Amino acid sequence: MKKIIASTLIYWSVLSYYIFIGKKHIFKYFTPQEKNEYIFRAVIIYFLCMFIGGIVNHFYNKRKM
């Protein structure tokens, strides 16, 4: 259970970093189209993290059993 909570926190911190902190610093230099690309990339990275985390979690649970 702890592992699931920790991995979820990591996903959300990565995502919030990309969207909120990244927005402040980087969006100054972006055109609107690049902004959309940036958000799109953040979402892709988030789902990639979820996917990898899910696989890791699956094998971790299998090993524990």
pLDDT of res. 21: 61
Rounded Cα distance, 34 and 2, in Å: 37
Each residue of 29-50: pLDDT tens digit? 666 676 677 777 777 777 887 7
Indicate if the pLDDT at residue 8 is higher than 70. Answer: yes
Q: How far apart are CA 15 and CA 35, in angstroms?
A: 15
Of 1, 11, 2, the C-alpha closest to 51 is: 11
pLDDT at 57: 77
**Average pLDDT for residues 8-37, to the nearest whole number?**
67
**Dist CA 41 CA 18 (whole Å):** 9
